[in-house]
Structure 1
Amino acid sequence: MSNNDPTRNVAYDPLPLTGDDQHSNTLYNAPPSPDPRLSSFHTPQMTPGELGPDDSAIPLGAAQPRFLGAALYDGPGSPAMRDSFASSQHTIPNSVYGSSVYALNDGQGRFEGSYRDDPRDSYYAGEHGGVPMSPVVAGHSRVLEEKRAAYVPPKTKSRRQVMIAAIIVAIILIILAVVIPVYFFVLKPSNNESSSVPSHSAHPSSSASVPTPSAIAVTRGDGSLITMEDGTTFTYKNQFGGTWYWDENDPFNNGARPQSWSPALNETFRYGIDKIRGVNVGGWLNTEPVSIVFCSVRSTRLFIFLVHVCLFARLFLCAVFIVIIIYSSPALYQKYSSNPTPPVDEWTLSLAMAADTASGGLSQMEDHYKTFITEKDFAEIAGAGLNFVRIPIGYWAIEVRNGEPFLPKVSWSYFLKAIKWARKYGLRINLDLHALPGSQNGWNHSGRLGTIGFLNGPMGYANAQRSLDYIRIFAEFISQPQYKDVVTIFGIMNEPQGTFMGQDQLSRFYLQAYNIIRTAGGTGAGNGPYVSLHDGFFSRTSWVNVFPNADRVTLDTHPYLCFNGQSAAPMSSYATTPCTSWGAGVNASMGSFGLTNAGEFSNAVTDCGLFLNGVGLGTRYEGTYSGVWPRIGSCTTWTDWQNYDRATKAAIRQFSLASMDALQDYFFWTWKIGNSSVSGKVETPAWSYQLGLENGWMPTDPREAAGVCGNSSPWTPPLAAWQTGGTGAGNIPSSVTSALAWPPPSISNGGAVSTLPAYTPTGPIPTLPGPTFAAATASIDVGNGWANAADTQGLSANIPGCQYLDPWVDPGTAPPPACAAAQRRDEPIAAPTPAP
């Protein structure tokens, strides 16, 4: 289908920027601000049609990737390249063997073992017949020639021989320096890790091990020393009264508190009153193209140890050799940029990795999971005054089918680590299902760049069935009592392009997913997570009363300014733009819909940044994106953060504070951004919370945002009782449930659902496993992965005899012949019984 369909375009309102540019002395007239009466501001490239004609070089559906986030080596306490040992110029001394020891004792015993050539000994010179030492004439003596013949002195070593010996010694040292640490720092830790991290073919066991009892429960605060799983340590810094809590004997204790003003995990978070101050950890368990230094934990340990060994042995060349070997690993995506088809999404990256068996194949993805986000990041997030993390994850955390190349199941084991770390530091989690089968938006962060195959095209219904299964599996796990106080929000789908599938079809899917989640966790206050529904790029007002009386539902919007018309206006001119653009709409939605959150926003006001629009797609600001945007200027002004002056940092900080105040409950995108492998620095500074903290343009205390917008008519809490799980929660009128019954009668670009490929719920359910702990005294109940034992419906499976297309097939493909109606089992999940 054409990618120039005007119905797919979602216009961005311009910004209210006018004035004199002090630097260029020119008059600029930036477009006006988005109308404050509007309630929806969208992510860029709402449609592939915005990317140019079909014959353009831009891939269909290309749009903004967000960030694979922060570099492994760009922060305090991170390992860094070390200075060389070259200045010492030490050499190995050349020992000269220029003499030998001669045998001075008579071999025949004629002098009773005495020395024969002592001329001063009267005893030998007298009656015992001692013989005085003969004078040496011309280098000869009477007896010494015999001894010289018997004891030939060693030859003097040549310089060449000494150098050869030194090289041999150096080689031996290098071999020892590699073999020993490879065992102790790679093989042995890997064996230990394999006992706690599942293999790639199956989930880990849910049973807990029982080793030696640990010390008493530990809880500390600011200034305490933290030891991570790999043995490294860091100092916990939290000036806001936050306390961490961790006890191996009681791993589900929820006593940790992120800050003094945020409820501890064992206390009630009052949504609508207590503010969600959150950040995404994007690019971790769902990768996106951006430059990131890629070096595994094992390589890091090995690098540090080997360089130390080499320097200790004063072998400079050895140290250089090790640096070259270990640090030849380039960026995660850039490693394969010279491939005939460079990777542009996790699908193509997975294919490239799998083909690269010499580097470890697809297991390289796990190296990324291990190193990109660690426990220290969660500790720093709490120390930054934040209380929530939004964690994007792909459906392949559960399974893959039909040759899908993603690494299956492994990311789930790292999500379990995230739960552990969040629990330890008192953070709550928004589980964000970022990628669904067939792609819900066609963008690279959905797993595969290209077309939209979810609720669109011949496989649109079947892909939606699979997606509901995955939502159900996640919901059953996080609704268990061990996890429900940590994973408190479930974002069931990231950025669906609603204009492709239609709001009616999307609403039906949302209601079905809602019923599934409430069946898993149950209605009533505290049972099951909040259900986060993305606006699908429709206005916020269009969702009012779509799900009346729905129990604990929040509307998710992603307000970005940077993907619209570009302006050279200085950052200071955006000081109140978030207030006028977003504040009134958020207030209205909080009052009419209920809890409204900004799942993503950033400090970017232009689209300047490495890979921001996609791999090799350029920027609008510089006029290099798709060839249809006029050049505004150079992006260097916006990305050269190392040369930001004090005024620029203050302007960015003001913008971030205004954004936080206007959005009220938010998740900044993203916590960290990776260094470019070319420039060695972050090339997208407007998107990194961590970089902003380190350099002074993000607030050290997010509470400073309160009142920045000075809104004269803000929404006043609390939320209605039914919006928070109280009286009336879950009493959705039957007229609404009938009107939004699942499945929808038809699918966009596919036709009647009755004529499309569908699955039957007869497959086994791949229940998600719990974590393992080094627990004492008794095994710890980690749950069986299924909160509601009464939920026994099987997983969607192929109907025997029916034909199926590739789940990622082009939506314009004709559907196969329909199966007989008797073979189909389209059984909707019944609405759960509402709370009394």
Structure 2
Amino acid sequence: MSNPQQPSANISYDPLPLTTDADQYQNALYNAPGSPGPASPSFQNMRELGSTSSLPPGASAAQPRFMGTYDGHAGPRESYASSQYPSGGSDFNGSVVALNDTSMGGRTLTGSPYRDEPDSFNEQGHAMSPMGQSSSPRYLGEKQNLYAAPRAKSSRKVLILAVLASLILLILAVVIPVYFAVIKPRMRNSDNDSSNDSDSSNSDNNNSHSPQATGKPQVKIVTGRDGSEITTEDGSKFTYENKLGGYWYWDEDDVFNNGAKAQSWTPALNETFRYGIDKIRGVNLGGWLVTEPPYADTATPAVDEWTLTENLRRDNKMDVLENHYKTFITEKDFADIAGAGLNYLRVPIPFWAVETKPGEPFLQGTAWTYFLKAIQWARKYGLRINLDLHAVPGSQNGWNHSGRLGQTNFLNGPMGIANAERTLDVIRVMTQFISQPQYKDVVTMFGILNEPQGTQVGQEQLSRFYMEAYNVIREVTGVGEGKGPYISYHDGFFPRSTWPGVFGQADRIALDSHPYLCFGGQSDNPMSSYANVPCQQWGASMNSSLAQFGVTTAGEFSNAVTDCGLYLNGVNLGTRYEGNYPGAPNRVGSCTEWTDWTKYTPKMRADIKQFALASMDALQNYFFWTWKIGNSSVSGKVETPAWSYSLGLQEGWMPKNTREADGTCGNTDPFQPPLAAWQTGGAGAGNIPAATASGLSWPPPTISNAGAASLLPSYTRTGPIPTLHGPTFTGSSMTATPSVGNGWANPSDSAGYYTEVAGCSYLDPWVGPTAAPPSPLCPGAPAARRAAPTPAP
């Protein structure tokens, strides 16, 4: 149980390959017990900020993204402050979207759009075996003599004719199947809108297939490859660029067709993705549906989405938020992602996409509308989605990306159980939607909780929540291959080696870690010195987890090796590297050399690319953070280049084909597939031993900073369910309205939504972990009003 005065988690950093100058680093280096890494001196814990005067009102000892709350010791992603490292710490840290400068050069932002800153088996060729030992085998000579031409003829002409005939046959062999399989079934005549047509009834029934005035049919293009033209729903156009064998597919009369293919080596959406064989080569859409906030003024700057929406509502400018959703990520981004050799998207989404409670200022439901756009565009370009629940009620870590900067109220403090129950409901509602047949082949993975402060809430309590979430999801989907999404668990900042076996042979679960190098001790070593660090630090442990746990992903990683970047550590907090971050012991150097990408030398770009390739190869299944970072409103350019995949593509330090990374660490496929059958939904999937299930029953007997769970506020499952709505399709040639589903894949799952018990007392969900529980809590025995645990399927 955590000390009430130490509410933050203890998270260790991946160590950097720092220099050994004791005078320079004796007060700056961190000790990361249990973290693998290159030889380096022992790191000393760095004490951080001892004041919280810069915190927002009510955010006692708060921690923004990457940071822990101050307790006088070094700790995770130190921002306002940090906490002591645990023994046996993880070698992974958390996520980042750098926030942009919102000062607008000293002016207040008024209505401007958001600017957010912060495989398959390796194919092997096989030589053909020669049919004879000589270039002119005897049997061929005999055959040639037997069938000699009756009269002399130019051998050159014969050869040319033979080659031409072969080419014609080859072209026909390709074109004819494509025509009959793809183009002909989609041929449609243009609408005949002539009001003078005497047979108006026939015209109404068949206008989508009627001949034009010329009598020639019009072919409706529903698919295309590299160089084809895309027309978006707003009428704008762009050229599809995919030189990796991918093709898009979109038919307004078949909107749930899953025929698109991201690249030649990635299974199409209507084909099986073989986890453990086909590699996840993904990227995050960070800063889109969960903002990290781009709107502020000099009096009350936004430090999280809570204060962002408060400011927008105050200024009557909520349209600014929706404009961000519309413009920050567009359809073209999805096309470009496929064209870059990426096949998977991790899409962060907040709980307020489903519901909010009174007093929570978030814009409810709108993020869901744009997530539906993400599904549509991913389907069109053959991309799969990992739905990432990035922010949950009460905050799972107290960092700004969780919705509200401050304190952890998930499985921590007096509202810890109630907030976890709300989270289970959000997970259930989302699972019901994405498990419908219209969406299940696109949204194929569900990350149910991003970066919980595991060392704060406790691994046992977190495991019990994970087990209950598994039960909730598999009650909806059933067990076995093809039945609902993979369930992705973040490691909670515990070592990956502590997770195998915790859930028995649970059906299709995955482990998620977030490897970052940049938030610990800082080094001015050149980028070239990091060339093999990912291979050394991450490769072996990822192999072990793939073999022992099953599917293992790096849900977030970047190219950053320092904490340089505008608002990377939080709004106006500076950097450790330049020594102006609260509590930083000394200045290492100027961040300009790391952030001014316009002055990168060719060698610098090559060194960053080498690091990126090594990271991809070592991690094997990954999601880079993040696809896009907006330009600074002051400088007009990206100020955190190490975090932008798209900028790296543009400037040459990210590969134009992700498979270029294969073998960078010296082995083309470090993990030897396949995974165990039960790990992929095969034989034994869902076999959770009774000892495991009973040992992880829900709710946990106690939680951190609150004591017995039975004495804390909790909800009952009698409320109405906020079913999620499907997309709306509009098209000029649509002949019928598609069925988008009712949001509920399994109607037999009929329990109500968690809601307050009449007569019982509740605290604010964001009250903080040190508040006392209501007294009296409610009439009768507290445990009697809690619903029975959901049985394992």
The answer to whether TM tops 0.5 is yes
Asked if 1:221 corresponds to 2:225, the answer is yes
- SS at structure 2 position matched to 1:365: helix
Picking from 409, 418, 423, the partner of 2:365 is 409
Q: Show the 5 A alignment for 1:257-272.
A: 257-272=261-276
Query: Per the alignment, do residues 811 and 213 of structure 1 end up closer, same or farther by CA in structure 2, a change over 3 Å counting?
Result: farther
Indicate the residue corresponding to 1:795 in structure 2.
753
**Partners of 2:703 and 2:477 in 1: CA distance:** 30
Q: Which amino acid aligns with 1:224?
A: S
Indicate the residue corresponding to 2:63 in structure 1.
61
Q: Is the 8 A contact 2:557 2:623 kept in 1?
A: yes
Asked if 1:232 corresponds to 2:236, the answer is yes
Query: Per the alignment, do residues 351 and 657 of structure 1 end up closer, same or farther by CA in structure 2, a change over 3 Å counting?
Result: same
Picking from 651, 654, 659, the partner of 2:610 is 654
Q: Show the 5 A alignment for 1:568-607.
A: 568-607=524-563
Q: Which amino acid aligns with 1:247?
A: D
Indicate the residue corresponding to 2:720 in structure 1.
764
Q: Is the 8 A contact 1:40 1:557 kept in 2?
A: no
Q: Is the 8 A contact 1:52 1:626 kept in 2?
A: yes
Indicate the residue corresponding to 1:349 in structure 2.
308
Q: Deviation at 1:217?
A: 6.0
Query: Per the alignment, do residues 69 and 373 of structure 1 end up closer, same or farther by CA in structure 2, a change over 3 Å counting?
Result: farther
Q: Show the 5 A alignment for 1:192-341.
A: 213=208, 216=220, 218-289=222-293, 332-333=294-295, 336-338=296-298, 340-341=299-300
Greater mean deviation of Cα atoms: 380-389 or 811-820: 811-820
Indicate the residue corresponding to 1:786 in structure 2.
744
Greater mean deviation of Cα atoms: 727-736 or 27-36: 27-36
Structure 2 spans left out of the alignment, 5+ residues: 39-45, 56-60, 67-94, 102-112, 114-204, 210-218
Output one character per residue of 1:510-540: Cα deviation in whole Å (capped at 9) or x when no partner.
Answer: 0110111111122111110000000000010
Picking from 49, 53, 59, the partner of 1:52 is 49
**Partners of 1:274 and 1:712 in 2: CA distance:** 13
- SS at structure 2 position matched to 1:554: strand
Q: Deviation at 1:569?
A: 0.1
Q: Show the 5 A alignment for 1:109-188.
A: none
Query: Per the alignment, do residues 808 and 69 of structure 1 end up closer, same or farther by CA in structure 2, a change over 3 Å counting?
Result: closer
Indicate the residue corresponding to 2:790 in structure 1.
830
Q: Which amino acid aligns with 2:307?
A: T
Q: Deviation at 1:4?
A: 7.4
CA RMSD in angstroms, aligned pairs only: 3.0
- SS at structure 2 position matched to 1:63: coil
Q: Which amino acid aligns with 1:273?
A: I
**Partners of 1:726 and 1:531 in 2: CA distance:** 15
Indicate the residue corresponding to 2:16 in structure 1.
15
Output one character per residue of 1:581-606: Cα deviation in whole Å (capped at 9) or x when no partner.
Answer: 11111011111111100000000000
Indicate the residue corresponding to 2:774 in structure 1.
816
Indicate the residue corresponding to 1:113 in structure 2.
none
Output one character per residue of 1:200-254: Cα deviation in whole Å (capped at 9) or x when no partner.
Answer: xxxxxxxxxx998597461101001111111111100000011000001000000
Query: Per the alignment, do residues 449 and 735 of structure 1 end up closer, same or farther by CA in structure 2, a change over 3 Å counting?
Result: same
Q: Percent identity?
A: 62
Output one character per residue of 1:814-834: Cα deviation in whole Å (capped at 9) or x when no partner.
Answer: 00022234574323453443x
- SS at structure 2 position matched to 1:16: coil
- SS at structure 1 position matched to 2:326: helix
Structure 1 runs of 4+ aligned residues shifted over 6 Å read 1-4, 26-37, 68-71
Q: Is the 8 A contact 2:11 2:455 kept in 1?
A: no
Q: Is the 8 A contact 1:17 1:33 kept in 2?
A: no
Structure number, greater radius of gyration = 1
**Partners of 1:2 and 1:610 in 2: CA distance:** 34
Query: Per the alignment, do residues 778 and 715 of structure 1 end up closer, same or farther by CA in structure 2, a change over 3 Å counting?
Result: same
Q: Which amino acid aligns with 1:566?
A: Q
**Partners of 1:526 and 1:505 in 2: CA distance:** 29
Q: Is the 8 A contact 1:428 1:487 kept in 2?
A: yes
Q: Is the 8 A contact 2:414 2:773 kept in 1?
A: yes
Indicate the residue corresponding to 2:196 in structure 1.
none
Query: Per the alignment, do residues 633 and 38 of structure 1 end up closer, same or farther by CA in structure 2, a change over 3 Å counting?
Result: closer
Q: Is the 8 A contact 1:743 1:826 kept in 2?
A: no
Asked if 1:751 corresponds to 2:707, the answer is yes
Q: Is the 8 A contact 1:16 1:32 kept in 2?
A: no
Query: Per the alignment, do residues 409 and 50 of structure 1 end up closer, same or farther by CA in structure 2, a change over 3 Å counting?
Result: farther
Indicate the residue corresponding to 2:642 in structure 1.
686
Q: Deviation at 1:630?
A: 1.5
**Partners of 1:495 and 1:217 in 2: CA distance:** 43
Output one character per residue of 1:290-309: Cα deviation in whole Å (capped at 9) or x when no partner.
Answer: xxxxxxxxxxxxxxxxxxxx
Q: Show the 5 A alignment for 1:695-710.
A: 695-710=651-666
Indicate the residue corresponding to 1:529 in structure 2.
485
Q: Deviation at 1:56?
A: 4.8
**Partners of 1:660 and 1:31 in 2: CA distance:** 29
- SS at structure 1 position matched to 2:445: strand
Q: Is the 8 A contact 2:556 2:623 kept in 1?
A: yes
| Aligned residue pair count | 639
Query: Per the alignment, do residues 410 and 783 of structure 1 end up closer, same or farther by CA in structure 2, a change over 3 Å counting?
Result: same
Greater mean deviation of Cα atoms: 619-628 or 219-228: 619-628
- SS at structure 2 position matched to 1:524: coil
Query: Per the alignment, do residues 710 and 802 of structure 1 end up closer, same or farther by CA in structure 2, a change over 3 Å counting?
Result: same
Query: Per the alignment, do residues 212 and 228 of structure 1 end up closer, same or farther by CA in structure 2, a change over 3 Å counting?
Result: farther
Greater mean deviation of Cα atoms: 536-545 or 212-221: 212-221
Q: Which amino acid aligns with 2:479?
A: T
**Partners of 2:231 and 2:655 in 1: CA distance:** 28
Query: Per the alignment, do residues 252 and 18 of structure 1 end up closer, same or farther by CA in structure 2, a change over 3 Å counting?
Result: same
Query: Per the alignment, do residues 212 and 268 of structure 1 end up closer, same or farther by CA in structure 2, a change over 3 Å counting?
Result: farther
- SS at structure 2 position matched to 1:820: coil
**Partners of 2:27 and 2:682 in 1: CA distance:** 47
Output one character per residue of 1:106-161: Cα deviation in whole Å (capped at 9) or x when no partner.
Answer: xxxxxxxxxxxxxxxxxxxxxxxxxxxxxxxxxxxxxxxxxxxxxxxxxxxxxxxx
Query: Per the alignment, do residues 39 and 237 of structure 1 end up closer, same or farther by CA in structure 2, a change over 3 Å counting?
Result: same
